[in-house]
Amino acid sequence: MSVERINGAGGTLERVVLRSPGGASAEIYLYGATVTSWKSRGKERLFVSARAKLDGSKPIRGGIPLVFPQFGPGDLPQHGFARTRRWTLLDAAEHGESVVAHLELRDDADTRASKWPYSFVVRYTVTLTATTLSTIMKIENADVCEFSFTTLLHTYFRVPAIAETTVGGLDGTLYTDKIRGTAGTREERAQVTMAGNEDRVYADVPGIVTVGCGGQRVSIRRFNLKDVVLWNPWAEKAAEMSDFGDSEYTDMICVEPGTVADKISLRPGQIISCGQLLAVEDTADAGL
């Protein structure tokens, strides 16, 4: 079965499982339209905390939460409301060598009563093949006035060891360091590593970004998302989060495509498509 819809039971939420003809799989919770699993070439590529809440009580800690219409703190709750709304599954089906799911979120009484009260439509397309996962948002201004927003795909990658993980494709770009409160620092490293709590916003990243560790590598191609956020809580911040294990920071890294350094503005009726294509490029697996 290429598409399986699982109704919530035992404290979990409704979700959809996609299986490609090439043996890959992906799981999407309708709560937040959060992709919580992506398995390709026999390996789980996404990280979800063992302490993540899967009952709708708070955003899912891991996978690919959708940040819209606000990145970070602001007038709305942290990272906006898209990741805590129930999305509608429009359809899901196999198409040749891929499996595609379409989901949708529209404004409602609650969002219109918030401090971002606009009418909007967000359509989210998740496409799975044997070695790729595509997550594309199409955001439409359905209001009578212009609105602005920030958005991001808060992608948690599972890695064998954070100390050996490298992120390529950021060299030469300027970043804001949210931990140290500095801005305008140029990244000089061809392969960025982590050795402590990091929260950086790299602005106007020009090309493909890669995440590699122990012979595993995933490339990230971005569409209409200018920036990349790099985050790991390390031990001190991990201990402060109730939905994150104290030692789980060693197993993950967030490399998050978004447009957050500046806002996107849409006129009434205007639509923008933005997203990412993740591709497995392992080099150490036998037979590859």
112 assigned binding-site residue: no
DSSP string, 97-129: TEEEEEEEEE--HHHHTSSS---EEEEEEEEE-
78 assigned binding-site residue: yes
Give φ, ψ of 228 to 5 degrees.
Answer: -135, 125
d(Cα 42, Cα 240) in Å, to the nearest integer? 33
83 assigned binding-site residue: yes
Q: Return the HEC string of 40-56.
A: ECCEECECECCCCCCCC
> H or E stretch including 133?
strand 132-141
CB 22 within 8 A of CB 39: no
Please identify which of the residues 27, 187, 198, 256 carries the catalytic annotation.
Answer: 256
Please identify which of the residues 79, 140, 154, 248 carries the catalytic annotation.
Answer: 154
Q: Is 256 a catalytic residue?
A: yes
d(Cα 215, Cα 96) in Å, to the nearest integer? 29
Q: Is 102 a catalytic residue?
A: no
Known binding residues are 61, 78, 83
Known binding residues for substrate are 61, 78, 83
Active-site amino acid positions: 154, 256
